[in-house]
A = this chain, B = another copy of it.
């Protein structure tokens, strides 16, 4: 019988799941991430994860593949059969980029400006002001946030 999972740690994983759900991740995957942040050993097999978190084999499989594709997690060779999963060292830091969301917002605003332009309202026209300022803002964020993240990485030797 494997070690029982400390209740505290499991609850932490659950809270992380809830917090991450607020960022668009599904609760189950958030829970997986949360668990990988504190579990010992750091690399765990599907079976261990399912056992620790009370999730189905299916959820683990789907969740891990997603987390792997998005760069949060990597496979490492497991002692016995199969493989184990481990949090990427900078998982959440790179994952938090959110660049896609801001890029999406910039694109819609861009489309809106094009629409007004087609009606004869140039970007400097009053009618386009509301949109333009927002396009500029999202562009700004899109450019600056990655710089910010780089700065954090540098300051912390990552």
Other-chain contact of A136, B19, B137, B156 (Cβ < 8 Å) = B156
Closest Cβ of chain B to A140, distance in Å, is: 5
Interface of chain A, main secondary structure: helix
User: A72-91: which have CB < 8 Å to B?
Assistant: 87, 90
A123 at the interface (CB under 8 A from B): no
A112 touches B12 (CB 8 A): yes
Chain A residues within CB distance 8 Å of chain B? 8-9, 12, 15-16, 19-20, 22-24, 34, 36-38, 40, 42, 87, 90, 92-93, 96, 101, 104-105, 107-109, 111-112, 115-116, 118, 127, 130-131, 133-134, 136-137, 140-141, 144-145, 148, 152, 156, 158
Instruction: Give the docked Cα–Cα distance between A40 and B126 (Å).
Output: 11
Residues of B within 8 A of A111 (CB): 12, 15
Residues of B within 8 A of A37 (CB): 109, 112, 130-131, 134
Copies in the complex: 2
Other-chain contact of A133, B20, B22, B156 (Cβ < 8 Å) = B156
Q: Which residue on B lies nearest to A92, using beta carbons?
A: B134
Residues of B within 8 A of A34 (CB): 108, 112
